[in-house]
Chains A and B, each alone.
Chain A
């Protein structure tokens, strides 16, 4: 199972909005509304930020939003803040024994 495709890096200035794409196939992203997004700061464990394409766990900022169209999911962060600088990973359920597949990760830089 190939990894989902994410841009290696994105950047934005404080207050701006950015979008990170996550492209899969009809076997994963395109077949299930079961995409999640994780934030990881250097040396730390990942943190769940979005699940089921667009739902936010309790305590996650409403500046983050998720969406999906066809085989591509997206994470949008509005009102960028310095604390948003981190690596972001998408993950999709892929069914059966393949279970889940991660994206390669995107490094977000807040300029």
Chain B
């Protein structure tokens, strides 16, 4: 079964850090570029970051640039998001997703919740 499972979310104080993980199974992870997408409570989807198969190209949304770092370990079939200097507005469910044909995101994880609050 093709599956993505996120972990690492939790409650953190403003200014703190968290590292999210996304474990892939059921497909050849190293052949897929990956995205992180987030959804604040009651709000829409927001693209966060993109990484190509061998990490040669990485992009970030302006809202997280300089604070978040995306990475992957193809040997471990895993995607990561290191989040530093967290703000209240980073509170959201964070999803990892594969980037398929024509940039369609065809496999999504179930999401992990990040809450930034004092």
A residues apposed to B, CB below 8 Å = 1, 3, 33-34, 36, 38, 40, 45-48, 50-52, 55, 57, 89, 91, 93, 96-105
Contacts and interface: CB of A to CB of B under 8 A. Distances in A.
A55 B102 contact: yes
A110 to B, nearest CB: 20
Contacts of A57: 104, 106
Contacts of A93: 102-103
Contacts, number: 70
B110 interface: yes
27 contacts: A1-B62, A34-B103, A36-B103, A36-B104, A36-B105, A38-B45, A38-B105, A48-B104, A48-B105, A51-B102, A51-B103, A51-B106, A52-B102, A57-B104, A57-B106, A91-B47, A91-B105, A93-B103, A97-B59, A97-B60, A99-B50, A99-B59, A100-B103, A101-B47, A102-B44, A104-B44, A105-B44
B118 interface: no
Interface size class of B (residues with CB under 8 A): 20 to 34
A19 B37 CA distance: 25
Interface string B93-109: 00101001111111011
A26 to B, nearest CB: 18
B47 A99 contact: yes
Interface of B: 35, 37, 44-47, 50, 59-60, 62, 95, 97, 100-106, 108-111
Contact of A102 (B45, B59, B95, B111): B45
Contact of A48 (B59, B62, B106, B109): B106
Contacts of B95: 45-46
B41 to A, nearest CB: 12
B82 to A, nearest CB: 19
Nearest to A96: B59
